[in-house]
Structure 1
C-alpha cells in the first residue's frame, strides 16, 4: 500500500507529494490524491483521471514510474482535458517521488505497453526532464551548507599537526581534544554537513592513501618471516579481541574496532574498522574512545618496552622487530626504537609497516564477521570489500611496481595523515565532550588486555622467527 506523506501547495500552483511503499500505483495512489485535492476545493472532471503530461493523453497503466525516479502529473481544468478542476486556479501540476532504494520494481503487468519507438523515447525524455539539475544557485547553497564544517575540519587537522610538533604529543589525541572543544560550543548543527564529509568519505580516502606507504623492497630486507609474524599478530589480536569482548559483554563491532587498533596500527586501524562496521553513534563514540586509549597505551609502551627488551635479552634486531610488532602507533614505534639506536628504529619501522600491510585483509575479515543475519547469527553472504580497501590495495600494488614516484609517495602520506586527523576531529566534534568523557570501564579493560596479549604474542614470534 503506497502512503502519501504530505501534500504542499506552492505559489506556482504546484503540488508536491512524496510517497513510498509497495503496490499498484494506478489503483492505490489515485484515490488518495483525489481525496486530498477534493478536500482542498478541487473536483474531478472527466472519466480518465489525471494524465502524465499535458501533451500526452495516456491511460492509467502508464503512470508507473520507471527506475524509481518518480512521476509528474498535470491536472487539467474543465474544458482543457480530463482531470481535476478548481474554480480559482487555471491549472495545477502534481509531482510525486519516493526513495529509489525502497521502490519496488514494476511487474510485467504494470509496465507500460511499448507501441513503437515513440513511447520509449517519450519516457526517456521524461526521465531526463525529472533529473535534478545542479544550478549555480544550488552550488552556492551547497557551499554555504558545507563550507563552515569543511573549514572547521581543516583547522582542527592543521592545529593538531602543529601542536603535535611543538608539544611532542600524539596528533590523533590532540585532534580528539580539539574536536571535543568544538563540540562543547554546540555548533554541530551549523557544521554537521561539512564535518560529515571528513567523518565518512574523508576517512575512507585517508585509509586508502595509506597503501602508498607500503614498500615491498623494504620488506624484502626483513624477509618473509616478518610478514608471517605480523599476520599472526593481526589475526591473533582480532581473535583475542572478539573473545575478550564477548566475555566482557561488549558488542562485536566495538570489540573488533578495539582489536584492530591494538593489533594493526592504532588510530588509523580503528578508523578503518569503524568504516567496515555499521554506522551508529555508539560505534563512533567507541572509535573516538579507542583512539584516545591506544595513544595513551602506545605512549606507555614507548617508555616501558625498551627496558623490557633489554631485560629479556633481545638483540638489537630482535628488539626492533618486537617494538614494531607490539606497539600500536607508528610515532611511538619510532620513538621506542630511537631510544635504543638508529638501526633499531629502522628495523622497528619496517616491522610496523608489515603490520599495516594486513590492514586491507583485516578490514575485509571484520566486515565478514559483522555480516550476520538477525536470526541465528549466520553469515548472510559474502559481500564485496569496501571501495577504500580496493584503493588501499591498488596503491600498495602501484608502489610495489614502482609506478608512484618518491615525491608523490610523501605527498600521499601527508594527505593521508591530514585526512585521518580531520576525520578524528570531526567525529569528536559531532559526539561532543559529554559522550566522550563518559568512561567505559569494559572498553578500557579490553584495550589493556589486548595490549598485553599483543606484546606477549609479538615476543613469542620474535623469538621463533628472529
Structure 2
C-alpha cells in the first residue's frame, strides 16, 4: 500500500469513474512515459552492472521530475498520477503473485509471521509512547506516525485516522514522515545488503518486515534479486494483512466504536493482499499457459514501473521542512528501530524457528 505525498495532500481514494476526471489520461501517459524511459535505461549494460532496476530508475526519474517540472503541471495531470500510484500499484502487487508459489509463502513460515506481529505491535506502541511522553506530541499525531511506520506507510495512516479521530493536518504530517524515511530505506537497504551477512531470502524477509511502503519493499527487493523480491513481497503482504486486526484492536482499546452521531469507524480490509495470495495459488497450481503467464508478468513490470514513477512524482523534498522537527525526529527514531532492531529480530527469529 503506497502513497508518497506532500503534507498537504492526503492519500487519494480512487473513485469510481476516475478515468473521467480532468487530467486522468495525461497523468497516466506521464507515468507511462517515465516508466518506459526507466525500462529503456535499465536495459543499458552499464546500469545493469550497477544493479539499477527499472523500478529503481522509475522512482528516481519520478522524484527528479516531481521536484522540478511536475509542480507546474500537477493540476492538469494529478488524477492520472494518483491513480497510477494507488490502483496500478495494487494491480501490480496482485499480479506479482504470478512470480510466487505457495511453497515460497510457506518458506517465510512462522518466523516471518512472528516477526511481523512483533514489529507491528512494538513499533506502534513505541511510537505512541515516545511521541507523547518524550517529544510531547499530541496522541493522535504520535499514533498516526506509529501506525504508518509499523504497518504499511501512508495507507496505514489513512486507515488509522477514523479510529483515532485525527485531524487532516495531523494525517498529512504523519504521511510526510513515513514517506521520507520509507524512501530512505528503499535505497539504504540494497546498499547495506553485502554487509548484513544475510542470504537473499533472509534479506527479503528483513526488508519486507521493516520497510514502510509496499512499493518501497518491491524496489528494495528487486535491487538485490528476484528471490529477495519474492521473499520481501510475501513478508510485506503478511504485514499488510495485519492492518485489519490492528484496527479492530485499536478501536476497542480507544473505545472508538462510534462518534457523536453514533456511526462506527470503518475498518479497512486490504483486499489486494488477499488477491495476491489467490493469484499465488493459481501460479502454484500451474493453471495458466506459459505464454499467458509470461505476458502477464511483463504487464506486471509495466504497471509497477508506472506506479513507481507516480510515487516519485508525488515525493516532494519540501515534505521534510513542512512536517516539522518533532514529528520527523519521532519517525527517524522509529526508522532506526525498524532497521537495527528489525535486523536483530529477524536474525533471532531465524535461529529460534530454524
TM-score w.r.t. length of structure 1: 0.52
Deviations 1:63-91 (A, max 9, x none): xxxxxxxxxxxxxxxxxxxxxxxxxxxxx
Question: How far off its partner does 1:195 sit?
Answer: 1.7
Instruction: Decide whether the 8 Å contact of 1:288 with 1:424 is kept in 2.
Output: no
Of Structure 1 and Structure 2, the greater helix share is in 2
Residue 451 of structure 1 aligns with which residue? 339
Deviations 1:113-145 (A, max 9, x none): xxxxxxxxxxxxxxxxxxxxx9xxxx9xx4874
Taking the TM superposition and a 5 Å limit, the aligned residue runs for 1:60-459 are 142=20, 145-163=23-41, 166=47, 168-169=51-52, 170-171=56-57, 173-174=59-60, 176-181=62-67, 185-219=71-105, 222=107, 226-249=108-131, 250-260=141-151, 269-270=152-153, 273=156, 276=159, 281-282=172-173, 284-306=175-197, 319-320=199-200, 322-328=202-208, 329=217, 332=220, 351-352=231-232, 354-356=234-236, 358-359=238-239, 361-368=241-248, 376-377=255-256, 380=264, 383=267, 385-430=269-314, 432-435=316-319, 440-459=328-347
Question: How far off its partner does 1:460 sit?
Answer: 0.8
Whose relative contact order is higher, 1 or 2, with alpha carbons under 8 Å and at least 6 apart? 2
Matches of 1:351 and 1:427, distance apart in 2: 22
Alpha-carbon spacing, 1:386–1:325, altered in 2? closer, same or farther (3 Å): closer
Q: Secondary structure at the match of 1:385?
A: coil
Question: How far off its partner does 1:215 sit?
Answer: 0.4
Q: Secondary structure at the match of 1:152?
A: helix
Of Structure 1 and Structure 2, the greater strand share is in 1
Instruction: Decide whether the 8 Å contact of 2:244 with 2:267 is kept in 1.
Output: no
Matches of 2:316 and 2:159, distance apart in 1: 23
Matches of 1:411 and 1:437, distance apart in 2: 43
Alpha-carbon spacing, 1:176–1:287, altered in 2? closer, same or farther (3 Å): farther
Question: How far off its partner does 1:270 sit?
Answer: 4.0
Q: Secondary structure at the match of 2:269?
A: coil
Instruction: Give every structure 1 segment of 4 or more consecutive aligned residues whose post-TM-superposition deviation is greater than 6 Å.
Output: none
Of the two, which has the highest radius of gyration?
1
Q: Secondary structure at the match of 1:190?
A: helix
Matches of 2:252 and 2:315, distance apart in 1: 27
CA RMSD, Structure 1 to Structure 2 (Å): 3.8
Deviations 1:322-358 (A, max 9, x none): 433323545655766x8xxxxxx95x56654541451
Alpha-carbon spacing, 1:159–1:143, altered in 2? closer, same or farther (3 Å): same
Residue 81 of structure 1 aligns with which residue? none
Unaligned runs of 5+ in 2: 1-16, 132-140, 162-167, 209-216, 259-263
Matches of 1:287 and 1:406, distance apart in 2: 39
Matches of 2:246 and 2:69, distance apart in 1: 30
Alpha-carbon spacing, 1:259–1:157, altered in 2? closer, same or farther (3 Å): farther
Instruction: Decide whether the 8 Å contact of 2:160 with 2:247 is kept in 1.
Output: yes
Matches of 1:175 and 1:389, distance apart in 2: 28
Matches of 1:444 and 1:192, distance apart in 2: 29
Unaligned runs of 5+ in 1: 1-133, 261-268, 310-318, 339-344
Question: How far off its partner does 1:227 sit?
Answer: 1.0
Alpha-carbon spacing, 1:438–1:144, altered in 2? closer, same or farther (3 Å): closer
Matches of 2:99 and 2:293, distance apart in 1: 7
